Amino acid sequence: TVLPTCQQSSVVGAAGTQGTGAGAHLSLSLLLRLTENMRRLKRGAKPVTSFVKNLSALSDWYSIYTSAIAFTVYMNAVWHGWAIPMFLFLAILRLSLNYLIARGWRIQWSIVPEVSEPVEPPKEDLTVSEKFQLVLDVAQKAQNLFGKMADILEKIKNLFMWVQPEITQKLYVALWAAFLASCFFPYRLVGLAVGLYAGIKFFLIDFIFKRCPRLRAKYDTPYIIWRSLPTDPQLKERSSATVSRRLQTASSRSYVSSAPASLNKDEDTGRFHGTKKGNFHEIFNLTENERPLPVCENGWRCCLINRDRKMPTDYIRNGVLYVTENYLCFESSKSGSSKRNKVIKLVDITDIQKYKVLSVLPGSGMGIAVSTPSTQKPLVFGAMVHRDEAFETIFSQYMKITAAAASGSDS
């Protein structure tokens, strides 16, 4: 949208100062070039969009006979192990048809009828208002196109960067299951299972889900995962909402501190230092004076990666991380026994540093590694959106506690 804005300014400036001079001619040429580039992009993407439309028509059973024949041919090819030769033959057939079309043959091989768009005559003499409207139209199309592309790329990035740990964990477990299946089962059996599932999912299950949106929103796992993945603007909105909630909590605390001293201490603790499952000190079996520091009243959402464990369910836990005056507390998001929670004394920490779960990725990562004498490998608190804030808080409190312990031992 930067280019149309600049052009819009040039149109307005040309209209106000020169009228129909060289500036207006330059502005018109830029508009025509931008419009032509948008049309070129649309024409270049037409084969891809047509292919997607045809796949969607097959899944929607737009033509019952075509979808039935495609379903029968595909399932037979998968059952007899001919899936790859079938797709290669379809690619060869498509190239052959393209060759005949290039030679002048009129061939239409599409499930959805193609609608030819009217060709607009070239615009040479445009008024200022027509130029301004053309800029708005092109800018809106470009904004919609680039916005959709940015949403898709950001969702994919956030999926692999553990921004939503509970979603990425499903992908992680599925990849491990696929890897183990490929190691212990014959390739033909794995290919047969994957091919049959893909055919049933594409031709039958997706058709039912599209006809019943409520079932899709409840049971279609890929659809639910994709809809749940956040984009970067949504993450910024969530972080700003979290900051506002922290400010509200801090203002509430200042109001309570200025209230009469007859206010019940237990009531104060339960109101401002409770988690979703109960009072803070009860959840972690701590004394009542152990409360989260003001900066982490609501905690930091993260996933605990315990590399000493072997099972995937124990290897990664989703939850919330808190820091008190003397402890580092992790509350697991899964309901059940409090044994899944983790409490670490700050004085027992031997090392704390920023951590990157995948070293091949750029940046400094989104994790914190904590080493203790009771663990062979450091505990990693990963997928933290506010990693730097959490690290500074934990490290400063850790230095404060260790300094106090060292001065006490010297005395």
- Distance from C-alpha of 130 to C-alpha of 278, rounded to nearest angstrom: 64
What are the backbone angles phi and psi of residue 278, rounded to the nearest 5°?
150, -170
Element (H, E) at 251: helix 232-257
The confidence score (pLDDT) of residue 5 equals 42
* 3-state secondary structure at position 49: helix
Range of the domain at 173: 165-228
Q: Which two tokens stand for residue 355?
A: 């951590």
**What is the amino acid identity at position 324?**
T
Q: Which two tokens stand for residue 197?
A: 């599932």
Nearest in space to 369 (alpha carbons), one of 327, 328, 403:
328
The confidence score (pLDDT) of residue 13 equals 45
The confidence score (pLDDT) of residue 308 equals 67
Do the strands 351-355 and 342-345 form a parallel or antiparallel pair, or are they unpaired? unpaired
The confidence score (pLDDT) of residue 67 equals 92
Q: Are residues 282 and 152 in the same domain?
A: no
Q: Are 4 and 135 in contact (CB under 8 A)?
A: yes
Q: Are residues 298 and 202 in the same domain?
A: no
The confidence score (pLDDT) of residue 8 equals 42
* Domain's final residue, options 140, 160, 180: 160
Q: Are residues 149 and 53 in the same domain?
A: yes
Give the pLDDT confidence of 263-298 residue by residue, as tens digits. Answer: 343 333 333 344 544 678 888 888 888 889 988 888
**Is the model more confident about 325 or about 309?**
325
Q: Are residues 365 and 406 in the same domain?
A: yes
Tell me if 292 is assigned to some domain: yes
Query: What does the H/E/C string look like for 293-333?
Result: CHHHCCCEEEEEECCCCCCHHHHEEEEEEEECCCEEEEEEC
Q: Are residues 309 and 395 in the same domain?
A: yes
Tell me if 243 is assigned to some domain: no
Give the pLDDT confidence of 330-377 residue by residue, as tens digits. Answer: 988 775 556 778 899 998 888 888 887 665 454 556 789 898 888 888
The confidence score (pLDDT) of residue 360 equals 47
Q: Are residues 148 and 172 in the same domain?
A: no
Tell me if 142 is assigned to some domain: yes
Tell me if 117 is assigned to some domain: no
Q: Are residues 351 and 308 in the same domain?
A: yes
The confidence score (pLDDT) of residue 14 equals 41
Q: Are residues 392 and 281 in the same domain?
A: yes
Give the pLDDT confidence of 200-239 residue by residue, as tens digits. Answer: 999 999 999 989 988 888 888 888 889 888 888 888 877 7
Tell me if 14 is assigned to some domain: yes
Total domains in the fold of the chain: 3
The confidence score (pLDDT) of residue 88 equals 95
The CATH number of whichever domain residue 315 belongs to comes to 2.30.29.30
Distance of CA 82 to the CA centre of its chain: 36
Q: Which range, 160-169, 241-250, 271-280, has the best average confidence (pLDDT)?
A: 160-169
pLDDT at 145 over 90: no
Tell me if 98 is assigned to some domain: no
pLDDT at 120 over 60: no
The confidence score (pLDDT) of residue 119 equals 52
Tell me if 99 is assigned to some domain: no
Q: Are residues 224 and 303 in the same domain?
A: no
| Summary mean pLDDT of the chain | 77
Tell me if 351 is assigned to some domain: yes
Q: Are residues 189 and 281 in the same domain?
A: no
Nearest in space to 313 (alpha carbons), one of 323, 322, 305:
305
Q: Which two tokens stand for residue 293?
A: 């520091």
Query: How large is the C-alpha radius of gyration of the chain?
Result: 30
Q: Are residues 8 and 56 in the same domain?
A: yes
Q: Are residues 139 and 219 in the same domain?
A: no
* Domain's final residue, options 228, 243, 266: 228
pTM, two decimals, is 0.53
The confidence score (pLDDT) of residue 12 equals 39
